[in-house]
Structures are given as structure tokens and as C-alpha cells.
Chain A
Amino acid sequence: QKEVEQDPGPLSVPEGAIVSLNCTYSNSAFQYFMWYRQYSRKGPELLMYTYSSGNKEDGRFTAQVDKSSKYISLFIRDSQPSDSATYLCAFSYQTGANNLFFGTGTRLTVIP
């Protein structure tokens, strides 16, 4: 079983739709949860960061973490064509491994 599972998509939605992106993970030692957005031919950029279970909101973006189910989600409200990108979830330990563990990414297209 992979440590991180993420549906690669692609996902196409009309402008204004609510988008839900999800990742599951198997390692209960993960303590930090992140979402990155990656535009074509660019490096990933950090969108959302959270430590605990629950919801964290930032503008049109909401990150949700359910540690008991080992499941994280990113919701995008009122999606815009500029949101078209690949979204990657990422995880890290509090101590131990120095690196982040990434999902393979979900490609999202928002159609005007």
C-alpha cells in the first residue's frame, strides 16, 4: 500500500462550481498536512498548511483533515479558470524524516 493515495483525475468543472480534492494516507505518524498547487511548467506552490484535525479556511479554499480516517480534502468554492492546475497533497512527520511525502497530484480544469 502506498503511503499516500491521490486520484490523478483529470477533473473538469464549470466555472463557479465547488471542487473537492482528496487524499488518503496510511501513516498515522504524519502530523503536518499541506496542499500545493502546480501550474504547467512551474514548481509547486504552497496553498494551505494545517497541523490538526478539522477545517482551515483561506478565502475560497478550505482544507479539511480527518486524522481518524486518514483522509484530507481541499475544497475550492466559486472555482475560476485561474484555478486550473495540478493539486498535490503533502505530508510530513513532526520528527524523523526530513522530507515531505507527496501525492501524485490531481489535474483540475475549470471551464469558463
Chain B
Amino acid sequence: GAGVSQSPSNKVTEKGKDVELRCDPISGHTALYWYRQSLGQGLEFLIYFQGNSAPDKSGLPSDRFSAERTGGSVSTLTIQRTQQEDSAVYLCASSQDRNYGYTFGSGTRLTVV
């Protein structure tokens, strides 16, 4: 596609439920990133996928968070047993070379009630 596509754009969930967020990167981009953006906190790195290499999971805040990338393309971020502090905008980005910046999607706004 023309850009990075994320779905859903908004998600409201009850505390304790699991959620899945989807990212469809730009075709041909081998690198894919997930970030979290909270009010006044800036963008927090979560996880990085590069081709068929093992992902860099160093930014995942707890073991309730996991992500996978199938076939080197679409990625899913899963949050289990959601907590109120998980409320944030989850942004996905893709790039051909990390040092030249990314293209971001519009994000999924997650609200845990």
C-alpha cells in the first residue's frame, strides 16, 4: 500500500481483557517498529523486526506484551490482561534503513476502562 496501515484506529477495552493491534507496513520495507505514545511521555520504543532476524524486544514493558510478524510483512501487537496504564496510542512504523527515519502509521488509540 501507499503507507503504513494500522487497525483498529480506536479500541476501548475492559481492564483484564486481551487486545490485538495490527500493522500493515509499506511493501518492501524490511524493518518494522512498534512504539507507544503516552500523553507528555514522548514515543517509547517497544519492539523492532528486521527481515528474518530475531526481533529486538528490549523495549517491551512487561511479559503481557508480545508481537509477531508473519511472512516479513504484517505485524500484530498483543497485550494480555490489559491494565489502565496501557492506555496510549500505539504507533507502528516501517523503513528500508533505520538511520534514515521511518514512515509511521496513524496509530491505534487504546483506552482501557
Contact = CB atoms under 8 A, between A and B. Distances in A.
B101 A49 contact: yes
B4 A43 contact: yes
Interface in A42-72: 42-46, 49
Contacts, number: 56
B99 interface: yes
Interface string A70-112: 0000000000000000001010101000111111110000000
Nearest to A35: B101
Contact of B41 (A36, A44, A92, A104): A104
- Chain B interface size, under 10 / 10 to 19 / 20 to 34 / 35 or more: 20 to 34
B56 A88 contact: no
B106 A32 contact: no
- Chain A interface size, under 10 / 10 to 19 / 20 to 34 / 35 or more: 20 to 34
A105 B37 CA distance: 11
B33 interface: yes
A34 B102 CA distance: 10
Interface in B56-113: 56, 59, 91, 93, 98-107
B40 A8 contact: yes
B106 A42 contact: yes
Contact of A98 (B4, B41, B42, B98): B98
B48 A44 contact: no
A92 B99 contact: yes
B56 A98 contact: yes
Given A43-B93, A98-B48, 14 more contacts: A4-B42, A8-B40, A43-B91, A43-B106, A44-B91, A44-B104, A46-B103, A88-B42, A94-B99, A99-B33, A99-B59, A99-B98, A100-B43, A102-B42
9 contacts: A4-B42, A8-B40, A34-B101, A43-B106, A46-B101, A90-B101, A98-B48, A102-B43, A104-B42
Interface of B: 4, 33, 40-43, 45, 48, 50, 56, 59, 91, 93, 98-107
